[in-house]
Amino acid sequence: MKWGTKYGPEYVNRLYAMVRRHLRGDFRFVCLTDRAEGIRAEVQCLPIPPLDLPPGIPERGWTKLTTFSADLHGLRGTALFLDLDVVIVDDITPFFEQPGEFLIIHDWKRPWRITGNSSVYRFRLGAHPDLLQHFRANFEAVRRQVRNEQAYLSEQLHGQGRLAYWPAEWCASWKYHCIPRFPTNYWREPAIPAGARILIFHGVMNPPDALAGRRNGNWRRARPAPWIADHWKE
């Protein structure tokens, strides 16, 4: 999903290329977007369904909830949602084989909470329209209770007994798992943790920052990681 101008078409194109290299068999790659210019022909670009939020509110990822429309452009089957700024480093076929009705990353910072990180989640298209319906009908109450869309998803699906998490090692946080601990981060470059399949760039850093060793406002100092270019490419 891509809206606005924060991410250019190269993010979509490289994500498609990484999926093609790391997913066995055929698949359909869909980008919900308001700007299809520059996106490669293998990607099917479709409009983002309107969410009709009040103007001027913090973004908070609420737009992702439109993936739970009862009829999302007639799409059917199992969907694996991937944030634009992830870096795929190994086979992602197991993400389609893992048992569970709804799977999401278990948040790393506060693992005692049920909250998931929605950079990677899997669901059956059209199976959870109640999530979007409830959000639209109770938007102000939801905003008072949770900070963002991933907290809302986790709370609702946990309450329904449908929430499950990926194996912990599959989705690695760039900040928490790839950057070496202080003080070794000053002389050791970041590395891929054992068992990682997807690297998650949550917060202020993105793959270009990791390549160049830019902190981009993050308090964790990291050396350049030139090996990112071996994965994040078309």
Q: How high is the pLDDT of residue 67? A: 96
- pLDDT per residue as tens digits for the range 135-153: 989 988 998 899 899 999 9
Q: What is the pLDDT of residue 204?
A: 84
pTM value > 0.85: yes
**Averaged pLDDT for residues 183-200:** 96
Instruction: Give the pLDDT mean for 45-59.
Output: 82
Name which of 165, 1, 151 is nearest 83 in CA terms.
Answer: 1
172 contacts 88 by C-beta, under 8 angstroms: no
The whole-number average pLDDT for the span 165-190 is 95
The CA distance from 138 to 82, in Å, is 27
**pLDDT tens-digit readout, 12-47:** 999 999 999 999 999 999 999 999 999 999 999 999
Residue 59: its pLDDT value, please? 67
- Asked if residues 189 and 175 have their Cβ atoms less than 8 Å apart, the reply is no
| Kind and range of the H or E run holding 102 | strand 102-106
Helices (H), the chain: 9-22, 94-97, 129-137, 139-145, 149-159, 207-212
Amino acid letter for position 6:
K
Tens digits of per-residue pLDDT, 59-90?
668 999 999 999 999 999 999 999 999 999 99
| pLDDT band (50, 70, 90) for residue 201 | very high
Report, as an integer, the average pLDDT of 216-229.
88
Please answer whether residues 95 and 171 qualify as being in contact, where contact means their C-beta atoms are separated by less than 8 angstroms: no
Average pLDDT of span 160-181: 96
Print burial letters for 34-65: b (CB count within 10 Å at least 16), e (below 16): ebeeebeeebebeebbeeeeeeeeeebbbbbb
Amino acid 60: pLDDT:
67
- Residue 51: pLDDT over 90: no
Tokens of 62: 């609420």
Q: Counting Cβ atoms within 10 Å, is residue 172 exposed (0-12), middle (13-18) or buried (19+)? A: buried
**Under 8 Å between Cβ of 116 and 163:** yes
* CB neighbours of residue 72 within 10 Å: 18
- Which two tokens mark 69? 């429309």
pLDDT score of 58? 65
Would you tell me how many other CB atoms lie within 10 Å of the CB of residue 208? 16
State the chain's mean pLDDT as an integer: 94
90-99, 120-129, 210-219, range with the lowest pLDDT: 210-219
Radius of gyration of the chain (CA): 18
pLDDT score for 110: 83
Q: Which of 228, 82, 65 is nearest to 166 (CA)?
A: 82
Task: Tell me the angle at which helices 149-159 and 129-137 cross, rounded to the nearest 10 degrees.
Answer: 120
Q: Across residues 87-107, what is the average pLDDT?
A: 97
pLDDT average, residue stretch 167-184: 95
